[in-house]
Amino acid sequence: MEENFKVIDNYLMVKMPEEIDHHQSAAISERADMFIIHKKVNNVVFDFEKTVFMDSSGIGIIMGRYKKVRCFGGKVFAVHVNGAIRRVIYLSGLHKVMDILE
């Protein structure tokens, strides 16, 4: 799991798994928070390149991190957002708090 987290300057890059559901979501959130708190990163970039499935557990991961970083003026980004993931993001309204980079 460690290799899916990387800090670049002030940004935490999170490589999201193939399937994002409740089974893995708590582990991803905890790991990300460790970096946010101990490495003092301000921004989080979620990379969906490998992801083929995401249910509302993914919304929880993203919203949770957003709430953590915005207190220090941080932001949340998404990259490599494909069809199925895009629908889930727009349906939930997440695109209003997150920058989606094409």
Partner 1 sequence: MDREMKNEITLEFDAVSVNEGFARVAVAAFITSVNPTIEEISDVKTALSEAVTNAIIHGYEEKEGKVRVVCLLEGDRLTVEVKDKGKGIENVERAMEPLYTTKPELERSGMGFAFMEAFMDELEVESAVGEGTTVRMRKKLGTESYLGDEE
Q: Which is nearer to partner 1, 73 or 83 (CB)?
A: 83
Chain-centroid distance of CA 71 in Å reads 17
**Burial tier of 61 (Cβ tally within 10 Å: 0-12, 13-18, 19+):** buried
Binding mask 10-49 for partner 1 (x = CB under 8 A): ---------x-xxx-xx--x--------------------
Residue with tokens 């708190």: 37
**Burial tier of 64 (Cβ tally within 10 Å: 0-12, 13-18, 19+):** middle
Q: Does 51 bind partner 1 (CB under 8 A)?
A: no
Among 8, 50, 55, 70, contact with partner 1 (rule: CB under 8 A)? 55
Among 4, 5, 6, 64, contact with partner 1 (rule: CB under 8 A)? 64
Residue 67 token pair: 């709430």
Among 8, 84, 97, 101, contact with partner 1 (rule: CB under 8 A)? 84
Neighbours of 2 (CB within 10 A): 6
Residues that bind partner 1 (CB under 8 A): 19, 21-23, 25-26, 29, 53-57, 59-61, 63-64, 83-84, 88, 91-92
